[in-house]
Amino acid sequence: MIDWNAYRQQLGTTITEIARTSPDVMKGYRTLATAKTAESSLDAKTRELISLAVAVTLRCDGCITTHVELARKNGATKEEITDALSVAISVNAGAALVYSARTIDAFHEAEEQAKG
């Protein structure tokens, strides 16, 4: 089992190292990360819940540990996080279904080409 607190701390250390080596990359990242937060029509908790759903979809452990902590600090409950995750599960299942259909389409096209 992963120690999420230790992992979050490790990420902080390593990201600081990256920032020292590539300060412009970190500046760009920070610009993206904070671009809409000040004037957002979404509150911080909602943004963090969305971030968690996206993190699960992208399979990003660093994103998960960071946004769990931020969601919790912004008042998200376990139930709200679970609801956000259920959206990620649903969308991922839907995406798998869509790509399954694309696979069948590719198969049909390959069959047609093989017939000549």
Residue (of 59, 77, 25) closest to 68 by Cα position? 77
Positive or negative, the CA dihedral 34, 38, 39, 45 is: positive
Closest to 19 measured CA to CA, from 62, 11, 65? 11
Crossing angle of helices 78-115 and 61-73, in 10° steps, is: 150
Predicted TM-score (pTM) of this structure: 0.81
CA distance 91 to 50: 12
pLDDT tens string 42-82: 999 999 999 999 999 999 999 999 999 999 999 999 999 99
Q: What is the CA radius of gyration of the chain?
A: 20
Q: pLDDT digit string (tens) for 13-44?
A: 999 999 999 999 999 999 998 887 777 899 99
